[in-house]
């Protein structure tokens, strides 16, 4: 799948990405006028879903958004319940909770299979990622993917490709509201870019937006922890790791560790200037993991965050409705424990 994530391919996604943001901003017009607060997580969820649907399938995601956003929330809750529960039979019990999970999987599968069938039947390609996967052939056997393998790959890209980015953007708006000086600097950088960021090259004019995104993912890494399974005995510092151990690698802890970061709790995008990034330990910052299984969509995600910040920041300020404390919850991703309700303050 590497070729579909290469830079020239990502450049071709810019028009659909800016299109998805513009559609959201058009929707926000009335909400801003009537001073209706929005749930930042839901808004960013719908936006990131629209972006990944356009990239994968070549068509907008508005029609499927409600169902998918709800189903993903069920998947998150149920899988983290399985993760934390001490009941070894939990995954097998036909509880209402389990049935709700199966219904959510079926709802997402229905969406994915519909797109797979539509695109397989289409005579002409539409250049979307799914078309590339349909064309992919195993170099040794010459065979394409069977329908189940294709579903598995597509569902991974679909879920990994929007939930994480939505999450990162949600925390970014939250942090920006708490740090007006940083928000104003971001607003002026974005306002100075005449017209839209239309190509990947334009993103070079938005270094601060990139730093803001990176720093938000330091404090709120969407994947707060990932794990590895020890294939053989190993030693890690003072610890012996027996074969078969599950080892957790928690970006949440690494990113806030005082031996790795100065004043770690402070939101400070300046940490990510090239000058201040040199010399940092290569595993101090792992929002996208590391090594052979590093996130395949990291460039796409950072590009998307930059585009969203650049298009939204000069036009709207997202303001927290109240001072209620917002705390994170470690599900599969780092979700806010309660909805982050924000008012849309129109700037231009």
Q: What angle do CA 130, 162, 47 make, to 5 degrees?
A: 105
Task: Extract the tokens encoding 64.
Answer: 């499927």
CB neighbour list of residue 66: distance below 8 Å, 6 or more residues apart: none
Per the DSSP assignment, residues forming a β-bridge with 342 are: 38, 320
Q: Of the candidates 53, 76, 165, 334, which one interacts with ligand HEM according to CB under 6 A?
A: 165
Q: Which of 159, 165, 168, 169 is nearest to 64 (CA)?
A: 159
Q: Of the candidates 14, 24, 64, 223, which one interacts with ligand HEM according to CB under 6 A?
A: 223
Q: Is 222 in the site for ligand HEM (CB under 6 A)?
A: yes
End-to-end CA distance of the chain: 41
Q: Is 328 in the site for ligand HEM (CB under 6 A)?
A: no
Shortest separation between residue 47's beta carbon and ligand HEM, angstroms: 13
Determine the residue with CB nearest ligand HEM: 297
Q: Of the candidates 18, 71, 76, 164, which one interacts with ligand HEM according to CB under 6 A?
A: 164
Q: Which is nearer to ligand HEM, 32 or 285 (CB)?
A: 285
Shortest separation between residue 34's beta carbon and ligand HEM, angstroms: 31
Residues between 48 and 77 that touch ligand HEM (CB under 6 A): 52
Q: Which is nearer to ligand HEM, 52 or 130 (CB)?
A: 52
Q: Which is nearer to ligand HEM, 281 or 293 (CB)?
A: 293
Residue 100 buriedness (CB in 10 A; 0-12 / 13-18 / 19+) = middle
Task: Extract the tokens encoding 26.
Answer: 């058009």
Q: Which is nearer to ligand HEM, 71 or 164 (CB)?
A: 164
Shortest separation between residue 87's beta carbon and ligand HEM, angstroms: 25
Q: Is 161 in the site for ligand HEM (CB under 6 A)?
A: yes
Give all strands (DSSP E) within 117-195, no chain letters. none
Cβ–Cβ under 8 Å, residues 24 and 169: no
Q: Which of 117, 116, 127, 104 is nearest to 152 (CA)?
A: 116
Shortest separation between residue 165's beta carbon and ligand HEM, angstroms: 4
- What's the DSSP call for residue 267? -
Q: Is 199 in the site for ligand HEM (CB under 6 A)?
A: no
Q: Is 296 in the site for ligand HEM (CB under 6 A)?
A: yes
By CB under 6 A, which span of 8-16, 21-29, 164-172, 338-346 interacts with ligand HEM?
A: 164-172
Task: Extract the tokens encoding 139.
Answer: 């170099």
Q: Is 282 in the site for ligand HEM (CB under 6 A)?
A: no
Q: Which is nearer to ligand HEM, 32 or 55 (CB)?
A: 55
Q: Which is nearer to ligand HEM, 157 or 312 (CB)?
A: 157
- What's the DSSP call for residue 278? T
Sign of CA dihedral 304, 17, 137, 163: positive
CA distance 260 to 273: 16
Q: Is 254 in the site for ligand HEM (CB under 6 A)?
A: no
Q: Is 300 in the site for ligand HEM (CB under 6 A)?
A: yes
CB neighbour list of residue 129: distance below 8 Å, 6 or more residues apart: 4, 55, 56, 57, 157
For 59, the 3-state DSSP assignment is: coil
> What residue ranges bind ligand HEM (CB under 6 A)?
52, 156-157, 160-161, 164-165, 168, 222-223, 226, 287-289, 293, 295-297, 300-301
């Amino acid at each position: 799948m590497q070729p579909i994530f290469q830079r020239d391919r990502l450049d071709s996604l810019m028009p659909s990405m800016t299109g998805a943001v513009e559609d959201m901003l058009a929707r926000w017009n009335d909400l801003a006028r009537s001073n209706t607060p929005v749930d930042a997580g839901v808004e960013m969820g719908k936006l990131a879903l629209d972006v990944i649907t356009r990239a994968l399938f070549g068509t907008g995601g508005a029609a499927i958004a409600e169902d998918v956003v709800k189903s993903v929330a069920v998947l998150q809750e149920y899988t983290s319940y399985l993760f934390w529960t001490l009941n070894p039979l939990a995954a097998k019990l036909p509880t209402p909770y389990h049935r709700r999970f199966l219904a959510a999987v079926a709802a997402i599968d229905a969406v994915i299979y519909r797109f797979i069938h539509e695109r397989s039947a289409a005579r002409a390609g539409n250049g979307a990622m799914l078309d590339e996967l349909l064309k992919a052939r195993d170099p040794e056997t010459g065979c394409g993917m069977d329908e189940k393998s294709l579903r598995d790959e597509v569902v991974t890209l679909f879920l990994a490709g929007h939930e994480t980015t939505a999450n990162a953007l949600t925390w970014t708006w939250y942090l920006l509201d708490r740090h007006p000086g940083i928000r104003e600097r971001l607003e002026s950088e974005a306002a100075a870019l005449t017209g839209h960021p239309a190509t990947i090259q334009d993103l070079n004019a938005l270094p601060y937006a990139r730093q803001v995104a990176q720093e938000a993912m330091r404090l709120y890494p969407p994947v707060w922890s990932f794990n590895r399974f020890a294939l053989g005995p190993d030693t890690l510092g003072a610890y012996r790791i027996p074969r078969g151990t599950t080892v957790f690698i928690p970006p949440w802890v690494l990113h806030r560790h005082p031996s790795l970061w100065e004043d770690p709790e402070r939101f400070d995008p300046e940490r990510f200037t090239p000058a201040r990034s040199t010399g940092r330990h290569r595993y101090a910052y792992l929002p996208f993991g590391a090594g052979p299984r590093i996130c395949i969509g990291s460039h796409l995600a950072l590009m998307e965050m930059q585009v969203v910040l650049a298009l939204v920041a000069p036009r709207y300020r997202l303001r927290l409705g109240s001072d209620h404390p917002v705390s994170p919850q470690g599900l599969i991703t780092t979700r806010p424990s309660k909805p982050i309700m924000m008012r849309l303050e129109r700037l231009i």
